[in-house]
Every structure is written in C-alpha cells, then in structure tokens.
Structure 1
C-alpha cells in the first residue's frame, strides 16, 4: 500500500522547536556574579532571540525562585552546554516546549517527554533475513540493550516514569525526554556503524554514542588530557589547581561546587602533589584519587566532582567485537551445575546451561573492570551485546572506559590460536550428553510431554536420533530427558526458545545483558555453527502459536 502524497506533505510540516534548537547550538557568553536567575534568563533570551520561561510552581516546590543568585563565568561554549552547567548546580533542567525553552525541575520535566519512532529493520533481523532467506525478528535484544544502557533508571518497569520501549512495524516506539531521545538516536547510529565495518580491515576503535558534534567535542577534551607538564603543589587551593590544569590542557576545567560542598569539601581544599613531568590525565587521576574525588568530560568542559556524582555522568560507547566473537572457540561450553532458576524461579537449576563466546566476553568485562561499578553489584554501569551488529554496548565512567579499551587491546595483541585438536579429541567432544529439559507446556495432560518429544525429534535434526545413544524421553508431565551431541543440544535450546518466547530458553537466546533490565543469562546457542534453518517446515518458519498447537495435536 502506498500513502497519498497529500498526506505525506501535510505531515512534513516545519518543527516549531527548530528555532529553539538552533539557538541552543549557538555560542554564548555567561559572566555573572550573584545575579538573579531571572536577570540571567532575560539576558540570554535577548542575546539568542529566544523565549525563556520558568516553571515557577516547580521551582517553588524545591525551594527556589527566579531571584536565586547565579555565579558563573563561561565564554565560547554552546548555549546548550552553558545552560546545563548552570542549571546542574541548582539541580534544575530545561525542556524544549513548543517554540520556547522552559526551566524546571527533573520531576516536573517528565510530562514534556516526546514520542519517537525508530525504523530498525537492520538491527532486529540478521544478515540472512535481510538477504531474503527468512528468519524471525529479534526485537528483545535491541529493546533490552536500550533499557540497560540509556537512562536505565527511567523506565517504567524499574520504577521510573517512562513507558517501556515498544516494538512496532520493524522499528521501535519510544517515549523519553529529548535528551534521552538524542542518546537513543546516537546509539542506533553507532550500532549501524559497527555493523557496517569491513572484516578485511576491521577497525575495533570504540564509538561514542553521541550526536556528531558532541562526540567531536568529547574527543577534543580527551586529546587535551594527553598534554604534559610539570607541577609542584604545596597546600595549593583546589581552585588554583583547576586553573593550572585549564592552562595545561587548553580545556575548560571547572569544579562542581554543589557536589563538593555536599561531601564537605571546599574549593580551597589544600592540595599537595608534585610532578616533574606528567600528562594532564595522570595529574587528574592522582589528584582525584588522593582526595577521593573524580572527574568527567561533558558540556565542553572537564569537571572535578565526587565519586558518587560522576555516576550521573557516564559515557555510552559501542565496542566493535566481531573479531573477538569469531576468533575464540565458537562451540558453546557446557556448565554444570547452574545456579539460575528455570522459568523465573531461583536457586539451583537441575539443568546445565551453555556458555558461549558472548557470555565469556561479558564476564571478562564485569569481573575484571571495577566489578563493583556494574549494576548487578550495586553500581550504575551497564553492558550488553547486540549480536546482529557484532558489538558490545557499555555505559561506564570515562576512566573505566579507558581500562576496558586497554583490556581489549591487550587481548587482541596478545591472543594465541587454539592448539589443533586430535581426531580422538574431536570425536570425544561430539559424544552425546544427557540433559534434563523442563518444558513450560500449556497443556498439562499426561501425554502432552510425549507429544512434545515426538515433535522435537521430527523437527530438530530428525535423521540423527536413535533409540540407544540419541533419544528424547519424557520424565513426568513437564520434563524431557534428551541425549544428544552438544551441537544438537544447542539447536534444541534455540528451537524451544522459538516455541516459547517468554521462557528461560528465550532469555538465554537473547544474549547476555548486565546492569539493566535484561536477563543475566547469556546466549545458549551458536547459530553460526549450523547451516540448517531451525524449525523450518517447507521453507517457512512456523510461528510459536502454530508450533504450540502442533504439540497439543500430537503432530
């Protein structure tokens, strides 16, 4: 069906917020000492020909007014950066309301969130599907990735105010703040960049999930930290150290006064450090470590703040890892016992599960790079994989990203090929293994599990079964005992995941996610090992409902 040209032209109208966004992107100048917030807003409104208003009720609710004194000295930054730096000290924010800019609180800004639709066909179908060979869509992996790494505490299912991401028409429907929407758009663009990288000259340089201009500004700040100098501080006030670092780097170095005062540290905190010759990065690292502080790079500035506050300013990056996923032994490893409960339960599982290259890569990150910084151990960092893009997506501090990049570089430059297995060893690896499969049957009749077993042996590698060494038998009303090779077990678990998309098998198949909404399970299969298309009858993949009906009918 083709939409009428009149409809398309009617709904391609001019965005009333374009003027506001253009003003936010323009350079500004802010030099104020104890100037009322209202006067600052009036000055900026005149300078940028922009309507700036206050949400007075929201400000009053947090004990602020338009007369609150502002002290700030900025020049040569975009208005967007200047406003963020100024309002952050008041724990305020701004929203772009049709044709104007409204200063308000983060809580009062929630109703101003926006809905956006993102076409994602290239990120929810694998290459075989896009080439016309058929295959199911995988919305869940992409949705879980966004929930985990973009404003992870803001989503409704974890107690936030934003509705969960919804799949629709080979894309995603998302309601979020304008700032979060920019992050999501940048994340999808970075994933596409990672997916498009050529394998013959693979460049695994991490990709900042930021709009192009902000990414360039961040790279400039990082480069400034490589400048070297000498310094000797003896009881030197922290504010003077910041001024020295600003001259050394050529970047704007600011102190987060609000955060520092909250932990009892003043701008005059005495500093004792000596560096005959060191990079600015090393000076920042030693300075912040000595005084239990931290720093982050944002809004065209380097800000010295507290360890706690830096977690609110994490960086989202996409790491191309196609070479790491393909270079290791691709066969899944059998782990037993497993301490993941089946189908939403807890405790020890009676079934072993498969660990793949994806799981091992995720575990290597979360277990060796500041383990306490990840969400699953009480931190704020998040990590996930999108297999269709061959990419890791990581939300972490700038300092932890540096450690991750170094670790991946070391792995790539020092890895060694696996020794060639003997014929006997290869044969042993292919010996059948007996595994117990709990099945979430809709029908609890006494013969339902037997019907399921018959369907399984007819649909999955039908020619490989026999009654002695490779078999599937029922155990009770909802459990199968299956003896098969590790490769066929991997296919079976994928097949069950397709049949029951809300089961633990589907959670495993979706890939591991750490630090957010996703399951802590990793992928349970390695489809790149197998040429056959799973669950395909007559060239057409059956839907989960068709397959479930087949079980009930005894197919």
Structure 2
C-alpha cells in the first residue's frame, strides 16, 4: 500500500494538479484594418524572359523584309533573313540531324515586302522546317522538336472563368479548336489546369500565341451590345486583319487575263502583277502532285470575274486550290489546304436564344438557381450568369446550331466524319461558337449564318413557356452521364454511383416514385431516370450539386448535363414562333 501511495504521489507531481494549469489566454481579435495583403517579391528573370519573347514576336510581325531565294541553301537563306531582320537566327543542328534534315537543303521563295514572321514561316516550309521565337533569338528546328519546346504560362481570365464549370467549358473550347493533337488528351505534350480565375497552360510558343488571341477575342465578344448585336466573326491569328483585307480586295477587284489559252506559270505571273500580295507556290506539295508549270490552261475566266474567282478557275483547271495565309496567297493541293485551318469566333447569341431577351422577367420560371461556387476571392455572378436555364426549356440551343452547321456546310470536313474541322460553344456572356475550318468553309459558314438570320422568326415567349410547363408534367426519360476524372476515366466508381442512385428516390420527390412507371437505374457510368419533367429538373440540380454530372452547353440548354429524349408514348410539338420580322437582337 505504501508503494502504491508513493507511486500516486509521484504521478501527481509529474502531471501536476489540473487546477494549477494556467487559464488559456484570450485570442486577440484582429481588426480588418490590421490585415494587409501579402506582396510577393517577384523574380525579375522569370518575367523578363516572357516580356522579351513578346517583344521579339512583335518585331517578327512588324519588321519588313524582301525574300528572293531560288535554290538557295537553308543556311544561306537564314543568314540573309538575319541580316535584314536584325535578330540572331540559330539552327538546331542536333534536331535537324536526328530528323534527317540538313541546313544545306535548297529552298525557293519569292516574297517581297512581307513581315519577317511570314518570310521565316514560308521559307522554312519549303524545307519542312519551322522556327520558335526565344527571348533573344529565333531557333530554327524540326516540327517534332518544336512541339516539345514547352513553356508554362498562367492566363488570368476572370471575366471568362468564375467557377469550375466555366473553366471546363473554356478548356474544352480551346483544346478542341487550337491544335487538338498537341494536348495530352490526344497524346500530345501540352497540358492545362485551372487555378482560381485563370489557367496554367504548358504549351509551345505557337499555341501560346493563338491562346492569347482567343482569350482576347472572347473578352471582346462579352462586351458586345445586345441592341444592334454585331454578328461579324472574330478571326484568331497573328495577321487576321491583313488577311481579311487581302480577301476583301481579291473578291472585289476584277481580273485582267489573256483571252487565249496560256501556260499555268504565265497565268500565275499575270496574276502576280494584279494581286495585292505575293503568291507562294507550295512546290513541296505541288511536285508530289505532278506539278507541270508549262501545262496549258484552256478554261480561262471572263473579264467580269474577280481575282478570287479567277484563282478558283485557274487552280481548279490544274487540279489545285488556293487560300490566303498571313500576307500572301498560297497555291497548293487540296489535301494540304484541308489541313490549313483558320480559327474564328462566331457570335450567335441571337440564334442560340431565338431572339429572346434573356433578361425578360418571364424567363425566371425556367431558371435553376445555383449557389455561386466562385473561386477564392471571386465576385458574385451578374445577370443571367447567376442562373442556369432548365435544359427542358431547350434554350440556348448550341447543339441545334452545331448539328445544323456540321450537317450542311462541307460535312465531310468535320472531325465527326474524319475531317480536320472542329467546333465548340462557349456561353459565359460571349455566346459564341469557336470554329477551326478551312478558308473556303469559313466563307460558307458566314453565308449560311447570315441566311439563317434573314429567315429566322423571333420566338414567342408566352407560347414557349406554355410548352415548357406542359413538358414538366410529361413522363420523360433522361440519361445523366457521370463526370470524368481529372486524368481520364470517371470520377466515381460504379459502387459509389450505385449508392447515389439508391438515394435519389429518398431525397428527390419520394411521392413520385412507384417502382413501375418511374425508375432510376445505372448502366455503366450513365444514370437512367424515368419520371416527370419537373422531377427530372430537381434530379439534375441534386446530381450537379453533388458533382456527379458536369455542364455541357453543347448538348442541351445552357447546362446540358443530360441528353433528353421524349417517352415514345408522349408527343411534343416544336417551339411555337410568331410570324413577323427577322430575329431581333437580344436586349
């Protein structure tokens, strides 16, 4: 007992009595005035290199040079461009050797008064090479090596991104239309990740140039007024303004050509005297396609034809084609032209919304409120961005527009049918389609959209709402596709999805489930639900809030998280429209 008592005393001495412990000090409350932001000390070298690259790129685009190379070695041609351009041009000898190329390869190019950027691009094109702007020089290398010369860059785009869905839509947009094969989803080296109200992108210099133009274009479209809504497309390229100017002149200036049959080269020389820019013969592609300069062209355009139509007739007679790139006309094969894609943004707010005023208070009925899941330090949503429109309402209809254009405008050239053309929507106040297509297809797209605007009638809001209310009461089947994970695959396992669908009848309108006419089932990563439209609306909200599904504005409505189809036992009529004037601008 004495030993036990001693042990207790020793333990009490080590631990100490509870009452002897000092009371915790009160936490001092810091007033907002005392909180100051953290101001980082930036490393000047990291930002100076980026600024230097941008300065050099501006020099490449503005410095004029004269190119007159005839069977000149790449090395000698680059020395001449270095002399005229005033910047160092270095050759990546290791990459050239690994790719089986040589700086002694001969090139031919006649490009007077063009930018150094254009001269480098098309002189090296003849040798199957390319270039990369660095901070203090231009690096000439192979296409394979250039694609691997990646640099990370953060793009702060708060007007384009306010939440996770905006970021996913923006990423889907540019990975679809800007060099899709260069992104990791298709096996390329480029990568992208959202962070707060911006994106960190690792890509090569050429893709970074296009991304800067794309983001600037989207921000410009966000500022378009709804009254007198401008519908002109916004091209995404370094020389878009010059390219549009040249096309305008080619389509409005008459050609003056011989009336008698002439050789192909003599006709091209005649055109060179009349067109407002150089003509580049893509000899590498043309010679593989049996290019005969002395071939006699007997089908000649009449004097009333424009320069553009004259080029159409002459190149078609020789089984070639042409397009405007940068500051010149390129004559090449049809296969090569199909791979020369231009990216442009098309404002379609008036078409996607059928001329409706999206601020009309009557449309509040079709809006699904969402908690503003902003990135840190982000502000609240403004106007219709604070709501998602019920997909059952069917507007804005990007999917309908995309299906219309890809079905009727050169359908074989779109990626769904094995072509190179691609299309993707972006809504967040820009309300546009981003399209990568050939110059010929872009011209037809503009014509098709303008024709649609002339004929489309404005929607009748009251009739649309009446149909919407009727659809809410109908029994319909919807398929909800589970969201993909950040690195491919799906975000949720099948057993997790199974537990979620078991909760749906308990959490969403329990009285509406009878086990026979209504059901919820799981098929792989798709949740199949049969119930009334108004119940489907709540299920969509429930699954979206849980992060099970993601928005996809190209599928249905502004948040087409599912692809609806009507029950075979029900019939629906198309949205009613009024007769009258063409679609008004959205206010």
Same fold (TM over 0.5): yes
Q: State how far apart, in whole Å, the 2-side matches of 1:446 and 1:35 are.
A: 68
Q: State how far apart, in whole Å, the 2-side matches of 1:136 and 1:23 are.
A: 37
Q: Is the 8 A contact 2:108 2:126 kept in 1?
A: no
Q: State how far apart, in whole Å, the 1-side matches of 2:120 and 2:136 are.
A: 17
Cα distance change on mapping 1:62 and 1:45 into 2, 3 Å: same
| Range moving further from structure 2, 276-285 or 376-385 | 276-285
Instruction: Kindly state the Cα deviation for residue 225 of structure 1 after the two structures are TM-superposed.
Output: 1.1
Q: State how far apart, in whole Å, the 2-side matches of 1:145 and 1:476 are.
A: 30
The answer to whether the aligner puts 1:411 opposite 2:431 as a matched pair is: no
What residue in structure 2 maps to residue 57 of structure 1?
94
Q: 2:140 aligns with which of 103, 113, 125?
A: 103
What residue in structure 2 maps to residue 151 of structure 1?
179
Q: 1:396 aligns with which of 437, 442, 461?
A: 437
Unaligned runs of 5+ in 2: 1-35, 364-390, 483-491, 562-587
Q: State how far apart, in whole Å, the 1-side matches of 2:498 and 2:54 are.
A: 64
Q: State how far apart, in whole Å, the 1-side matches of 2:325 and 2:505 are.
A: 57
Q: How far does the alpha carbon of each residue in 1:420-478 deviate from its partner, in whole angstroms, 9 at most, with x for none?
A: 749986764443214265786754698754422222338xxxxxx65789996556899
Unaligned runs of 5+ in 1: 126-134, 332-351, 459-464, 513-520, 528-555
Instruction: Kindly state the Cα deviation for residue 523 of structure 1 after the two structures are TM-superposed.
Output: 5.0
Cα distance change on mapping 1:470 and 1:387 into 2, 3 Å: farther
Instruction: Kindly state the Cα deviation for residue 244 of structure 1 after the two structures are TM-superposed.
Output: 2.4
The answer to whether the aligner puts 1:217 opposite 2:264 as a matched pair is: no
What residue in structure 2 maps to residue 452 of structure 1?
504
Q: State how far apart, in whole Å, the 1-side matches of 2:522 and 2:288 are.
A: 61
Aligned length: 475
The answer to whether the aligner puts 1:73 opposite 2:110 as a matched pair is: yes
Cα distance change on mapping 1:435 and 1:274 into 2, 3 Å: closer
Q: State how far apart, in whole Å, the 1-side matches of 2:139 and 2:521 are.
A: 64
Q: State how far apart, in whole Å, the 2-side matches of 1:208 and 1:105 are.
A: 27
Q: Is the 8 A contact 2:106 2:127 kept in 1?
A: no
Q: How far does the alpha carbon of each residue in 1:29-57 deviate from its partner, in whole angstroms, 9 at most, with x for none?
A: 22233333222222222333322121123
The answer to whether the aligner puts 1:24 opposite 2:71 as a matched pair is: no
Instruction: Kindly state the Cα deviation for residue 371 of structure 1 after the two structures are TM-superposed.
Output: 0.4
Cα distance change on mapping 1:234 and 1:421 into 2, 3 Å: same
What residue in structure 1 maps to residue 411 of structure 2?
371
The answer to whether the aligner puts 1:484 opposite 2:521 as a matched pair is: no
Q: Is the 8 A contact 1:255 1:304 kept in 2?
A: yes
| Range moving further from structure 2, 473-482 or 99-108 | 473-482
| Range moving further from structure 2, 64-73 or 423-432 | 423-432
Cα distance change on mapping 1:470 and 1:164 into 2, 3 Å: farther
Cα distance change on mapping 1:496 and 1:290 into 2, 3 Å: farther
Q: Is the 8 A contact 1:314 1:396 kept in 2?
A: yes
| Range moving further from structure 2, 302-311 or 244-253 | 244-253
The answer to whether the aligner puts 1:171 opposite 2:195 as a matched pair is: no
Q: How far does the alpha carbon of each residue in 1:242-283 deviate from its partner, in whole angstroms, 9 at most, with x for none?
A: 222233332222221111111112333332223131112222
What residue in structure 1 maps to residue 235 of structure 2?
208
Q: How far does the alpha carbon of each residue in 1:378-432 deviate from its partner, in whole angstroms, 9 at most, with x for none?
A: 1000101001120010000111111000111011111124577499867644432
Q: Is the 8 A contact 2:553 2:559 kept in 1?
A: no
What residue in structure 2 maps to residue 336 of structure 1?
none
What residue in structure 2 maps to residue 381 of structure 1?
421
Report SS of the residue matched to 2:344: strand
**RMSD across aligned C-alpha pairs, in angstroms?**
3.4
The answer to whether the aligner puts 1:47 opposite 2:84 as a matched pair is: yes
Report SS of the residue matched to 1:66: coil
Q: State how far apart, in whole Å, the 2-side matches of 1:446 and 1:68 are.
A: 63
What residue in structure 2 maps to residue 537 of structure 1?
none
Instruction: Kindly state the Cα deviation for residue 313 of structure 1 after the two structures are TM-superposed.
Output: 1.8
Q: How does 1:357-368 map to 2 (within 5 A)?
A: 357-368=397-408
Q: State how far apart, in whole Å, the 2-side matches of 1:299 and 1:79 are.
A: 11
Q: State how far apart, in whole Å, the 1-side matches of 2:71 and 2:78 are.
A: 13
Q: Which has the larger radius of gyration?
A: 2
What residue in structure 2 maps to residue 544 of structure 1?
none
Return the TM-score normalized by structure 2.
0.73
The answer to whether the aligner puts 1:314 opposite 2:341 as a matched pair is: yes
The answer to whether the aligner puts 1:283 opposite 2:320 as a matched pair is: no
Q: Is the 8 A contact 2:150 2:190 kept in 1?
A: no
Cα distance change on mapping 1:483 and 1:206 into 2, 3 Å: same
Q: How does 1:442-521 map to 2 (within 5 A)?
A: 443=495, 449-457=501-509, 473-474=519-520, 481-485=529-533, 489-490=536-537, 492-493=539-540, 495-501=542-548, 505-506=549-550, 509-512=551-554, 521=555
Q: How does 1:221-370 map to 2 (within 5 A)?
A: 221-226=246-251, 227-232=253-258, 234-272=260-298, 273-327=300-354, 357-370=397-410
Q: Is the 8 A contact 1:257 1:267 kept in 2?
A: no
Report SS of the residue matched to 1:308: helix
Q: Is the 8 A contact 2:152 2:203 kept in 1?
A: yes
Instruction: Kindly state the Cα deviation for residue 106 of structure 1 after the two structures are TM-superposed.
Output: 0.5
What residue in structure 2 maps to residue 86 of structure 1?
123
Cα distance change on mapping 1:235 and 1:265 into 2, 3 Å: farther
The answer to whether the aligner puts 1:435 opposite 2:477 as a matched pair is: yes
Instruction: Kindly state the Cα deviation for residue 180 of structure 1 after the two structures are TM-superposed.
Output: 1.2
Return the TM-score normalized by structure 1.
0.76
